[in-house]
Amino acid sequence: MQRVSSPLVPEFSLSRIAFGLWRLTDWNYSPAERLSLFEQMLDLGVTTFDLADIYGDYRCEQTFGKALKLKPQLRERMEIVSKCSIRLAGEASGARINHYDTGAAHVRNAVETSLRDMGIEQMDLLLLHRPDPLMDADALAEVLEALVAEGKVKHLGVSNFLPHQFDLLQSRLSLPLAANQIEASLLHSLPMFDGQLNHCQQHKVIPMAWSPFAGGRLFSGSDEDAVRVQRELQRLTQARGLDAESGPMQLALAWLLKHPAQMIPVLGSGNPQRLESALAALEMELDREEWFELLRAGRGRDVD
C-alpha cells in the first residue's frame, strides 16, 4: 500500500486510503466481527482509521475500543485519527444546541474521553473537526501543545479549515499542523479552485478527503448533477472494460488520487469486498483528458 507523509513531520505517514468509521455503530457487527474487519483492512495495507468523538452519537469510539480490546496488539499496526470541536445537543454532550467548542477545557476533556473510550494511550493524529468562530488561537494552541507534550496526542491537524483559518492557528503553534481533512469529490471539486489544496501543497500539509463519493450521490443520486456524473463514469467504465459495478467507484477514487496534493480518500464502508475492490484505484492512472472529462461532468461545464 502506498503511503503519504509530509516533509514537515517525516516520521509520520498515513496509508493512501483511510478507513472511515463514522457508520461503525450502524453496521450491527459483533466485537469479533468488527475486529475481523479491522484485520482485513490492515492486511490490505489500510492502516489509517478515521474516527471522531461525535460519530455514532458519541458511541463509535467506544464500539471501536471494544473490538480493539479483543486483540490490543493490532494497535501497533494502526494510525488512529480522531476529531473534536463539534458538540451535538443532547444528553451525551450536555449541550443545549449544536455548536463548536475549541475552548481549552473542552478540547482536553474530549481527547481524554476519546482515549478512554478507545482504550488507547495516545492518538496518532488529532484533528479539530470544524473551525470555531469563537476560537481563541492562543489558548487553543497552548492546550494542543500540552496534549502532545503529555503523550496523549502524537500529531496535530485540522478539518474543514480554510487557508486563513489554518494559518491563524498555525501562527500560534510551535508544532506543525500535519493534515487538513476536507470535503472533496467529483461533485465537490471546490477545494481545487478555492485555495484549499493549493494551500496544502504550499505548506506540505497532508489533505484527507471526506465524502469522496458525495455521500453516495455519485452512484445513486437522482439530481441532475449526480446523473450527469454517473453517465460519465459509466461511459469511462465501458471504454476501459472495467467491471460495471466496481468500475465507477474506482474511477471516482482515481480522479481524486491523481491530484498532486496527494489526497487521502476516507472510505466508510463496512463491506470488506467493496473496500478491497476500491483499492484497485491505486493502480489506475487517468490521463489528463479523462480527468478533465470527469471534472466537466462534475461541474456541468467545460473549463474556460
C-alpha–C-alpha distance, residues 223 and 217, integer Å: 8
C-alpha–C-alpha distance, residues 104 and 145, integer Å: 11
DSSP state of 72: G
The x, y and z cell numbers of residue 4, run together, are 503519504
C-alpha–C-alpha distance, residues 158 and 35, integer Å: 28
CA atoms within 13 A on the CB side of 167: 9
CA atoms within 13 A on the CB side of 199: 21
How far from chain centre, in Å, is Cα 275? Answer: 15
Residue 92 corresponds to which amino acid? Answer: A
DSSP state of 135: -
Q: What is the largest CA-CA distance in the chain?
A: 56
Helix (H, G, I), strand (E, B) or coil at 246: coil
Catalytic option among 29, 55, 58, 100? 55
Strands of the chain, DSSP E: 3-5, 13-15, 18-20, 48-50, 79-84, 86-87, 99-100, 123-128, 153-159, 177-183, 206-210, 264-267
Decide if 55 is catalytic. yes
C-alpha–C-alpha distance, residues 140 and 142, integer Å: 5
C-alpha–C-alpha distance, residues 251 and 268, integer Å: 17
Sort strands 13-15 and 3-5 into parallel, antiparallel or unpaired: antiparallel
Residue 223 corresponds to which amino acid? Answer: D
Active-site residues: which are they? 55
